[in-house]
Amino acid sequence: MQGDAPKAYFYLDPYSRPAEKRGGAWMAEVVGRSRLLAPAPGAAPGSPRLPVAHMVCNQSPPVDGAPSLMTFREVETLFHEFGHALQHMLTSVDEGLVAGIRGVEWDAVELPSQFMENWCYDRPTLYSFAKHYQTGEPLPEEMFKRLKAAKTFRSGTMMLRQIHFGSIDLELHSRFSPGHGESVFERDAHVAQKTQVMPPFPDDRFLCSFSHIFAGGYSAGYYSYKWAEVLSADAFAAFEEAGLDDDLAVVSTGRRFRDTVLALGGSKAPEKVFELFRGREPSTEPLLRHAGLIPAGA
């Protein structure tokens, strides 16, 4: 709501239905915000058409009268997809082609979604709903510690894996010429010298199944996964710096996030939007800290 008037509309289809619904989770627009296209009947003259988002998940359905008992991964997925929905719904841009999620450059489109995942590990946020559905008993403290520890388990290995994928993608799409000496597999092994602790097996043919960069729309763009993590971690760091225990500071920082990252859509270049929010260029330090790869106090 914006005052007494709706700001956007939202539909959620949360539960798995294997017989009629594909797997995975996604957010998509029904319509986007636009001043050019007709608003809803009864809307004030000159008002824009309001955005409508729908979000689809495949979480555990209610069974035998019990509510949906979501896994932690399902909670993360719900937060992730709702980040996309927030960017679509809270846009302040009236030009439809760059409103909401439209026109956002590829390497920043995952910023709001990955940003939202951080709140799953924020103790007050998680404990506001992580309770036994019958007794109301909160999540045991030991289990919360395990969730936090699992987040950074082998994080260095996973980061090197993503860096390798992004590096070989850029290498093949910018500097590799088929039929001129080495094969794609030899080039992959060459890149692995910088990105892997152990060399790949000589018969490694992972590239044959790397559909993201050959058939999935991420050609020369796979790096965007890791870069979006840099942006999202740095964005969440703004809340950490303000003080996660300071409600007024969190609200103030949240409004600034809403008025920049969530509001401006594709109307400005992502680096400009980020700088409006953070007051500086992105830093890799928060991502490394969140991954446990540098001390928390560094």
Query: Which among 270, 290, 259, 228 has a CA at the least distance from the CA of 86?
Result: 259
- Over residues 189-216, the pLDDT tens digits come to 999 999 999 988 889 999 999 998 888 7
**Which residues are designated catalytic?**
81
Mean pLDDT of 53-81: 94
Contacts of 36 (CB under 8 A, 6+ apart): 95, 96
Which has the minimum average pLDDT: 5-14, 33-42, 142-151, 164-173?
A: 33-42
Specify the pLDDT at position 181: 82
Which DSSP letter does residue 154 get?
Answer: T
Angle at 13 between CA 128 and CA 83, to 5 degrees: 55
Which residues lie across from 164 on neighbouring strands?
none
DSSP E strands in the chain: the ranges are 9-15, 26-31, 52-59
Question: What is the length of the chain?
Answer: 298
Mean predicted confidence (pLDDT) in 129-137: 95
Q: What's the pTM value of the predicted model, to 2 decimals? A: 0.89
